Chains A and B, each alone.
Chain A
């Protein structure tokens, strides 16, 4: 390294504390953005360039830099989002919060022609304004330029693997492999857009399902996680659970019963929410009686919102002509395979028999 580069390296060492402060400020702000936007991202990371890495850079192209402050990636932060459209949400906040050096910032997404594909990421070169940090002991913190990269997780995967090939830019890559890498970039761009569309359509679907559940046209609704969740949230088991709670003046703990869906969909092969609703209406009274057999005379005075649905499941298993094996299969689907399932299947089956339940009929 020549004297010029050694002087830059010395400046770097003198500013190490400020770099650390700067990195912490920027990282904390980026994490705050994610929280305010209510976005879950793949990662938000930051680093101060290692001395060895800076030496390598100076040895390679130190002549390009007048001093340490003209190197803009000593402090670097990266946001990796799950969806490509989240990149713009972060971009807007970065532009409003930091002082952006627009001449040196770049949106690689806009660099490509209509027939070109490759590295897609947004790079901002910024400084921290005094409104964000102002400490006379560290004035350099407001002068040092830093870099923020934002990209989707698929763009990140492509960039990381490209980097792993060891080539610094497209010129170095043998044309045969460059074509294949760029072809992959195009494929991932398509996948990125598809993920955004799937997410948007799923959100729309959830809203639509909630409306239909409220309207009561349940036969139109496919039984799935969203429709089942919306149906349960509508309080369909509230009256059954409240009635069960009267058996021993019980307290009711609220729990999720989403995992019960597997039993109804896979075990009972129900297709629509309407079919499930029919069973709930037809067999709730029997489910209550099943609980009387279990709780009456005991000191149990605590149940959960899963109690009614569980009793309903056992009753439905019996009235659908379920054998002991079917009861065990139902328990397997509800709770996973357990050593007790076969014996408890017999216990629950026997209760249904004692209740006088008939196959295909509700208990009056």
Chain B
């Protein structure tokens, strides 16, 4: 998985490519851990993300809760069918903010 990130004051934009799974979710967590503490909003660009496993869902859930606690926001953009189906079936579509 490739991680590109850009920090703009209170907002962190993270562009992911590849698979967010058991092997790569810890890498994402380690890569943006310090940045997440500094910001109130995170935007994930999933245009080139092929798949999300439970490990990826857990990382998203953790950030969703952390940002919600400080009245921030987590937005996921450009989700493909495969990933959206995982979000729907697991119920994550019900509470995540997902935009085209």
**Known: A299-B53, A299-B54, A339-B100. Is A260-B94 also a contact (CB below 8 A)?**
yes
**Known: A253-B61, A338-B100. Is A303-B90 also a contact (CB below 8 A)?**
yes
Of B9-17, B29-37, B78-86, the stretch lying at the interface with chain A is: B78-86
B22 surroundings in chain A (CB, below 8 A): 299
**Known: A253-B61, A256-B95, A338-B98. Is A302-B85 also a contact (CB below 8 A)?**
no
Smallest CB gap from A347: residue in B? B85
Q: Are A300 and B85 in contact, with the CB atoms below 8 A?
A: no
Contact of A340 among B57, B61, B84 (CB under 8 A): B84
Task: Judge if B63 is at the interface, Cβ distance under 8 Å.
Answer: no
**A156 CB to nearest B CB, Å:** 26
A256, A302, A335 pick with most chain B CB within 10 angstroms:
A302
**Known: A253-B61, A256-B95. Is A302-B81 also a contact (CB below 8 A)?**
no
**Known: A302-B54, A344-B84, A347-B81. Is A257-B94 also a contact (CB below 8 A)?**
yes
Contact with B along A287-319 (1 / 0, CB 8 A): 000010011000111111111011100000000
Contact with B along A244-266 (1 / 0, CB 8 A): 00000000010111011000000
Task: Judge if A343 is at the interface, Cβ distance under 8 Å.
Answer: yes
A257 surroundings in chain B (CB, below 8 A): 91, 94
A255 surroundings in chain B (CB, below 8 A): 91, 94-95
**A282 CB to nearest B CB, Å:** 21
Task: Judge if A68 is at the interface, Cβ distance under 8 Å.
Answer: no
> What is the size category of the interface that chain B forms with chain A?
20 to 34
A344 surroundings in chain B (CB, below 8 A): 81, 84-85, 88
Task: Judge if A334 is at the interface, Cβ distance under 8 Å.
Answer: yes
B100 surroundings in chain A (CB, below 8 A): 338-339
A302 surroundings in chain B (CB, below 8 A): 54, 57-58, 61, 90
**B99 CB to nearest A CB, Å:** 8
Bound together, the chains give a CA A197 to CA B53 distance in angstroms of 50
Contact with A along B17-48 (1 / 0, CB 8 A): 00001100000000000000000000000000
B57, B58, B93 pick with most chain A CB within 10 angstroms:
B93
B84 surroundings in chain A (CB, below 8 A): 338, 340, 344
Task: Judge if B89 is at the interface, Cβ distance under 8 Å.
Answer: yes
B49-92 contacts to A (CB < 8 Å)? 53-54, 57-58, 61, 79-81, 84-86, 88-92
Q: Are B80 and A256 in contact, with the CB atoms below 8 A?
A: no
**A267 CB to nearest B CB, Å:** 15
**Known: A260-B94, A300-B53, A300-B54. Is A307-B85 also a contact (CB below 8 A)?**
no
A259, A295, A299 pick with most chain B CB within 10 angstroms:
A299
A253 surroundings in chain B (CB, below 8 A): 61, 91
Q: Are A343 and B95 in contact, with the CB atoms below 8 A?
A: no
Q: Are B81 and A343 in contact, with the CB atoms below 8 A?
A: yes
Bound together, the chains give a CA A338 to CA B78 distance in angstroms of 10
**Known: A253-B61, A257-B94, A344-B84. Is A294-B54 also a contact (CB below 8 A)?**
no
B88 surroundings in chain A (CB, below 8 A): 310, 331, 335, 344
Bound together, the chains give a CA A334 to CA B87 distance in angstroms of 12
A305 surroundings in chain B (CB, below 8 A): 91
Smallest CB gap from B94: residue in A? A306
**B44 CB to nearest A CB, Å:** 15
**A327 CB to nearest B CB, Å:** 12
**Known: A291-B89, A335-B88, A347-B85. Is A259-B54 also a contact (CB below 8 A)?**
no
Q: Are B93 and A335 in contact, with the CB atoms below 8 A?
A: yes
**Known: A294-B89, A299-B21. Is A340-B79 also a contact (CB below 8 A)?**
yes
A307 surroundings in chain B (CB, below 8 A): 89-91
A260 surroundings in chain B (CB, below 8 A): 94
B98 surroundings in chain A (CB, below 8 A): 335, 338
Bound together, the chains give a CA A340 to CA B82 distance in angstroms of 10
Q: Are A310 and B89 in contact, with the CB atoms below 8 A?
A: yes
Bound together, the chains give a CA A344 to CA B79 distance in angstroms of 12
| CB-based closest 6 A-B pairs | A306-B91, A304-B91, A306-B94, A302-B54, A340-B84, A339-B100
CB pairs A–B below 8 angstroms (20 shown): A256-B95, A257-B91, A259-B94, A300-B57, A301-B54, A302-B57, A302-B61, A304-B95, A306-B91, A306-B93, A307-B89, A307-B91, A309-B91, A334-B93, A335-B88, A335-B94, A338-B100, A340-B84, A343-B81, A347-B85
